[in-house]
Structure 1
């Protein structure tokens, strides 16, 4: 993979971490976003994660371009995990939190997530939310 200081090449697939303790939720997120949500970004490769320690390890590796965290995951929810990652990682990639309802969007502000999407996940809303964050990771 072509990487330089946490930035992805415009030709290499982007690495998207999808975290949820529920495999059905991870699958729905991957299906909603697809392999190529926008023609202005390279294809996406997904890293499925079910536990908090694995999220922390993957995010600290420097190979992740975007994280999508399930706010309803158990025992470690995506909102608290987003805050932990933003507080602890020097160069944290963008984070999108999927909340249980639109009224929980204020929690994403507390968590310092870069964006929030409410359930049920609408593919158009998810793609529109994620695309600018992914484009910010590309090297010119």
Structure 2
């Protein structure tokens, strides 16, 4: 005699259950240390319940960014569009054209109306200055959840 006992959904397929927060390594570029500090402090280690930043790498020059991206793996690049002498928008476009499997890029634009520049640069997302910590966290979490 066989029994058809349904398997509870919670135990039917364990592969669909979350295995913890998504862990990100982030490279942050700005020539302005105050901007870098504002991003790191505003985002913290947990921009969302399901997203954790396990490592930050800060760069103050475009050359340092290019070198780091060529040598190490990052899940997300946050590039300041207002950096000088090379802004994050031009740097994003260069990285997207030159680096195979370039990480996702979040650019910090000078103003909300500069969203079209972020599209031109091939960045996946943009957050305008003045930086809003909630907008940064939400944008980072959204990018982290995309596969």
TM-score by length of 2: 0.81
The structure whose Rg is larger is 2
Residues 43-62 of structure 1: matches in 2 within 5 Å?
43-62=53-72
1:97 aligns with 2:107: yes
**Larger relative contact order (C-alpha < 8 A, sep ≥ 6)?**
1
Q: CA deviation at 1:121?
A: 1.0
Q: What are the superposed Cα offsets for residues 11-40 of structure 1, whole Å, 9 maximum, x if unpaired?
A: 784211110001111000111111111111
Runs of 5+ consecutive residues of structure 2 not aligned to the other structure: 1-18
Match of 1:4 in 2: none
Runs of 4 or more off by more than 4 Å in structure 1? 9-13
Count of aligned pairs: 129
Number of the residue aligned with 1:130: 140
TM-score (norm 1): 0.85
Task: List alignment gaps of at least 5 residues for structure 1.
Answer: 1-8
Q: Is 1:115 equivalent to 2:125 in the alignment? A: yes
User: What is the CA–CA distance in structure 2 between the aligned matches of 1:69 and 1:44, rounded to whole Å?
Assistant: 18
Cα separation, partners in 2 of 1:57 and 1:10, compared to 1, 3 Å:
farther
> What's the secondary structure of 2:55's corresponding residue?
strand
